[in-house]
Amino acid sequence: MEGGHLPDIWFMKSWILAPIAALSLVACSGEAQDAAPPPPSVTVSQPLVQQVRDWDDYVGRFEAVQSVEVRPRATGYLQQVHFTDGQFVRAGQPLFTIDARPSRAALEQARAQLARAEAMLANARTELARSETLAASQAASQEEVEQRRAAVRAGVAEVNAARANVEAQQLQVGFTTVRAPISGRVSERLVDVGNSVIADQTILTRIVSVDPIHFSFEGSEALLLKYQREGLAGPGAEVRVKLQDEASYVHPGRIDYIDPVVDPGAGTVRGRAVLPNPNSFLKPGMVGRMQLAGTDAYQALLVPDSAVVTDAARRLVFVVDGEGTVVAKAVELGPLVGDLRVIRSGIAAKDQVIISGVQRAQPGQKVQPQKGAIKPAAAVDAASAPATRAPRASSAEIVAPAQN
């Protein structure tokens, strides 16, 4: 073999082996593409089982249990003011003094009239006795005796009238001292010393009671029906109130009145709670948010609110079955307890709910479940919109420890 033929043989071998190598690379690439990715990893846990109680939310306003416009019962000139604006006063405490000199003069005149009437009555009784003695000896007629008796009866009437007048004038003297009709916080004085005041007309000041205090609110007819059917929210039912700058419901109280009539225009019914207010911190006119127990304590299943998926009008929870497949279950939601959601129906206590990695799971897909745990919710209430028009509780609280 001559040296000139060797390059030709090497070229032919290269031409034959190149397609074989290319086919091998294509085969390896196809095997890599056919290999399926591993199932996604998700965290699962059984629902948390706890005793909870639902609370319905209302917005309302504080009102004084008693509120009085203080008016004088005597006419005259104002002489003294016996309180400081905004002071707490007790029932019967003097507030104002009206010039009593005209009333005292009228009282003395009434006493004089009484003395005159008593003297005339005494004289009439003496005349009657004399006439009866003379009539017994036939020295006076029976007609004269009857006249004397009539004079005595008239004298008794005059004395009684004079005594009543004395009592009336004594009351007028007493009315010149204006006293607090109730215990409470007095407003500013509306009339200064030296001004003339008119009985039963001039407003001198106002007094509002402070302890206890009312909280007035309105609820829907649907909620009223629920309470009546379940025997809830009658007089004595527990409530709690918070102010607009408070994070929790720190003011306890109880229902003391439910209006027996539903407003036909608004479809609402007025309710009222009474709360202790020993330090006068709560003021009439303040706005607050009230919670009323909407249910008795019941056992509930709770899952993280982030585990709930929205599908059009449905709410879904993804669970992993025994074969590691994701199953979507439609659920009925209850209120929030912290960051946990009460599930009223749709899942069981033994279901393995996906609590983390929900975005990586699809119904019918295989997953790698990792065991997790749902952190128990704190016994606090979640802020929520008022339930004035809604027939469902808007928040809940834990009333018993978690059960697994």
Q: What is the per-residue pLDDT for 387?
A: 35
Q: Provide the pLDDT for residue 34.
A: 54
Out of 93-107, 221-235, 274-288, 357-371, which region has the weakest mean confidence (pLDDT)?
A: 221-235
State the pLDDT confidence band at 121, using cuts at 50, 70 and 90: very high
Q: Summarize the confidence of residues 377-385 as an average pLDDT.
A: 44
Residue 296, pLDDT score: 78
* DSSP-H helix ranges across 83-220: 101-136, 142-175
For helices 101-136 and 142-175, give the axis angle rounded to 10 degrees. Answer: 170
Query: Rounded to 5 degrees, what are φ and ψ at 248?
Result: -130, 165
Query: 35-49, 194-208, 262-276, 347-361: lowest mean pLDDT where?
Result: 35-49
pLDDT digits (tens, 9 = 90+) for 190-217: 999 999 999 999 999 999 999 999 999 9
What pLDDT score does 10 carry? 41
Q: Which long-range contacts (CB under 8 A, 24 or more apart) does 370-376 make?
A: 370/41, 370/42, 370/43, 370/44, 371/43, 371/44, 371/45, 372/43, 372/44, 372/45, 373/45, 374/45, 374/47, 374/48, 374/302, 374/303, 374/304, 374/340, 376/48, 376/50, 376/401, 376/402
Hey, what domains does the chain have and what are their CATH numbers?
41-53+298-398 (2.40.420.20), 58-65+208-293 (2.40.30.170), 68-95+178-206 (2.40.50.100), 100-175 (1.10.287)
- Whether pLDDT at 6 is above 60: no
Hey, is 261 helix, strand or coil? Answer: coil
Predicted local confidence at residue 33, as pLDDT? 52
* Structure tokens that stand for 118 in this block: 């008593």
Confidence of residue 227 (pLDDT cuts 50, 70, 90): confident
**Torsion sign, CA atoms 382, 383, 388, 390:** negative
User: Is the predicted pLDDT of residue 376 greater than 90, yes or no?
Assistant: no
Give the number of other Cβ atoms within 10 Å of residue 264's Cβ.
8
> 166-181, pLDDT tens digit by residue?
999 999 999 999 999 9
Computed over every residue of the chain, the mean pLDDT equals: 84
What is the per-residue pLDDT across 74-107, written as a single tens digit (0 to 9) for each?
999 999 999 999 999 999 999 999 999 999 999 9
Alpha carbons 66 and 186: distance in angstroms, whole number: 12
CA dihedral 175, 178, 184, 187 (to 10 degrees): 140
Residue 374 in this model has a pLDDT that exceeds 80: yes
Q: Which of 403, 305, 402 is nearest to 353 (CA)?
A: 305
Cβ-in-10-Å burial (0-12, 13-18, 19+) of 391 comes to middle
pTM across the whole model = 0.67
What's the rounded Cα separation, in Å, for the pair 169 and 105?
9
pLDDT-derived band of residue 38, with 50, 70 and 90 as boundaries? confident
Q: Residue 303 CB: number of other CB atoms within 10 A?
A: 24
Alpha carbon 337 to chain centroid, angstroms: 20
**3-state secondary structure (DSSP) of residue 197:** strand
Predicted local distance difference test score (pLDDT) of residue 382: 38
